[in-house]
Amino acid sequence: MSLFGKLKDRLFKSSSRLEEGLDAIVSDGGAPEADAPQRAAPEDRDHAPPAPAPQEDPAPDPQPAPQAPAATRPEGPRDRADAPRVQAAIPQALPEEEAARPGILGRLRRRDASPQVVRRALDDAMLEQIEELLIASDMGVDTALRVTANMAEGRFGKRLSTDEIKQVLADEIARVLEPVARPMPLYPKKPQVVLVVGVNGSGKTTTIGKLASQFKAAGKTVVIAAGDTFRAAAVGQLQVWGERAGVPVLTAPEGSDPASLAFDAMTRAEAEGADLLLIDTAGRLQNRKDLMEELSKIVRVIRKKDPEAPHNTLLVLDATTGQNALSQVQTFRELADVTGLVMTKLDGTAKGGVLVALADKFGLPIHAIGVGEQIDDLAPFDPDEFARALTGIDR
Ligand SMILES: Nc1nc2c(ncn2[C@@H]2O[C@H](COP(=O)(O)OP(=O)(O)OP(=O)(O)O)[C@@H](O)[C@H]2O)c(=O)[nH]1
């Protein structure tokens, strides 16, 4: 199955909720009409999206991982724009004499070629209903308002079908997501230190395992440090993932100082000439002050070896927590200098919309998304693909 198929399949809960909601909204006050190609004016997009922010990072490695293999990348919007033309070509393919003939068969065929669809005029009431639907899919009030306002621009009063609304919605969502969709930058620095933070259970361990596996597959040497030294189970889990990924995991006795482990891990990674050092950390938000001290001590100590470390601080967020993810970003930004996000558990949640809210509110890069528990279930974040999966657009 293609990556798009997998993502769409796994985002089923979000997309089906949106899809059903849109169907109900259009039916409520809409009327069936011939499926003339009343496409939602793509030319309305003259307020062009800002170009994706250039990576300020100095000289990123030309082969950043994780990257989707080119073959699995979805088609871009330009490819999609071609689709209606292909569909529109089908009725024209009728044999000439049959199309000209006013007989029953000809009329039937023509009717088949233009099935009825329900359309509804885009008005304030409809926009409000769409807004509510987006809020219910965890997009948050501000983002839902912005997305619907953009949808209305140049389309107010136009009659739209569910499919046309889905397309407009997907375009608007992709516009919000485009500036933040950036793979984790890689630097020529050895070792590049990646501090991984997030609340317990958000998927840090799993994400570290998946990242280690992908970096290794991309030819990088990786070392993992099990920095949550207070929880033996967490260390054990990380060791399992290290084995799966074929990457060494440095551990320390239970209850020992995580900063001292981080220092030892730096020493080893340097000695071995490792490309990357991934440091797991504790996620006990119950005592914020302790956690802040613990994280800042890790940073202080590794900076004795490299004043620029950590080069990345990844915040791992569990998508199933919905709006809670927003407050986690706020909190962790106070605890650490978060440079990018990884969103996990997007499979099987109806709360995928939170990612749009996160992009809109914080503008932090989203490096990757977790779509399952297996080692290869970490996908690069592709805004167009995600927007289509979220809105339930079929390929
Ligand atoms: N379905 C799904 N499950 C995931 C994903 N990522 C992680 N998980 C599961 O979420 C649970 C918690 O993941 P961990 O990686 O242990 O989370 P953690 O943040 O390290 O948690 P602690 O070890 O408690 O600090 C595990 O059961 C994982 O299998 C994902 O993308 N999709």
Rounded Cα distance between 345 and 157, Å, is 38
Alpha-carbon gap, residue 270 to 281, rounded angstroms: 20
Is any ligand 1 atom within 6 A of the Cβ of residue 347? yes
- What are 51-57's contacts with CB under 8 Å, separation 24+? 52/178, 52/179, 52/181, 52/182, 53/179, 53/182, 55/182, 55/185, 57/185, 57/187
- From the CA of 283, how far away is ligand 1's center (Å)? 12
| Binding residue ranges | 198-205, 280-284, 344-347
Report whether residue 372 contacts ligand 1, using a CB cutoff of 6 Å.
yes
Q: Which two tokens stand for residue 36?
A: 């003339």
Number of alpha carbons in the 13 Å side-chain half-sphere of residue 107: 3
The most distant pair of C-alpha atoms in the chain lies apart, rounded to whole Å, by 87
Could you give the CA distance from residue 121 to residue 258 in angstroms, rounded to a whole number?
60
The answer to whether the CB of 206 is under 6 A from ligand 1 is yes
* 75 burial type by CB count under 10 A (0-12 exposed, 13-18 middle, 19+ buried): middle
Instruction: Report the alpha-carbon distance of residue 122 to residue 132 in Å, rounded.
Output: 15
Cβ of 10 closer than 6 Å to ligand 1, yes or no, is no
* Spatial contact of 235 and 210, defined as CB atoms under 8 Å apart: no
Does any ligand 1 atom lie closer than 6 A to the CB of residue 246? no
Q: Is the CB of 204 under 6 A from ligand 1?
A: yes
Q: In this predicted complex, what is the ipTM?
A: 0.96
Q: Choose among 335, 62, 76, 376: nearest CA to 206.
A: 376
Tokens, residue 151: 């949808």
Provide the annotated binding site for GTP. 198-205, 280-284, 344-347
For position 12, what pLDDT does the model report?
Answer: 55
198 ligand 1 Cβ < 6 A: yes
Tokens of 333: 């930004």
**Which amino acid belongs to residue 41?**
A
| Closest C-alpha residue for ligand 1 atom 7 | 203
Ligand 1 site, residue 183, Cβ cutoff 6 A: no
In this structure, what DSSP letter does residue 272 have?
Answer: T
Distances (CA, A) of 123 to 128, 139, 157, 170, 319: 9, 21, 6, 19, 32
Secondary structure of 225-266 in HEC code, one letter for each residue? ECCCCCCHHHHHHHHHHHHHHCCCEECCCCCCCHHHHHHHHH
Tens-digit pLDDT profile for the chain (395 aa)?
A: 555 565 666 665 566 678 788 888 988 877 787 766 554 444 443 333 333 333 434 444 434 444 433 333 333 333 333 333 223 332 333 344 444 444 544 444 444 556 788 999 999 999 999 999 999 889 999 999 999 999 999 999 999 999 999 999 999 999 999 999 999 999 999 999 999 999 999 999 999 999 999 999 999 999 999 999 988 888 999 999 999 999 999 999 999 999 999 999 999 999 999 999 999 999 988 788 899 999 999 999 999 999 999 999 999 999 999 899 999 999 999 999 999 999 999 887 778 899 999 999 999 999 999 999 999 999 999 999 999 988 888 75
91 CA → ligand 1 middle, Å: 50
CA of residue 207 to ligand 1 center, whole Å: 8
- Residue 371 CA, closest ligand 1 atom number: 31
User: Helix (H, G, I), strand (E, B), or coil: what is residue 41?
Assistant: coil
Helix runs in the chain, H state only: 3-10, 12-27, 77-92, 96-100, 104-113, 124-136, 141-152, 162-177, 204-217, 232-245, 258-271, 288-305, 324-335, 354-362, 383-391
Beta-carbon-side half-sphere exposure of residue 288 (alpha carbons within 13 Å): 8
Which mutation among 199, 224, 373 tests ligand 1's pocket best, with the greatest number of atoms within 8 A of CB?
Answer: 373
Contact 166, 389 (CB under 8 A): no
Neighbour order of strands in the sheet with 116-121: 31-34, 116-121, 159-161
Give the CA angle between residues 79, 81, 83 to the nearest 5°: 80
Say how many Å lie between the CA of residue 125 and the centre of ligand 1.
Answer: 41
Which protein residue's CA is at the shortest distance from atom 26 of ligand 1? 203
Is residue 237 lining ligand 1, measured as CB closer than 6 Å?
Answer: yes
Q: Is the CB of 371 under 6 A from ligand 1?
A: yes
With CA atoms as reference, report the closest residue to 381 among 340, 351, 348: 340
- Residue nearest (by alpha carbon) to ligand 1 atom 14: 203
pLDDT at 54 (0 to 100): 37
Nearest ligand 1 atom, CA 206? 15
Whether the Cβ atoms of residue 95 and residue 105 lie closer than 8 Å to each other = no
Is the shortest distance between the CB of 201 and ligand 1 below 6 Å? yes
- Identify the residue whose C-alpha is closest to ligand 1 atom 6: 203
What is residue 19's predicted lDDT score, i.e. its pLDDT?
Answer: 78
Q: Output the CA 206–ligand 1 centroid distance in Å.
A: 5
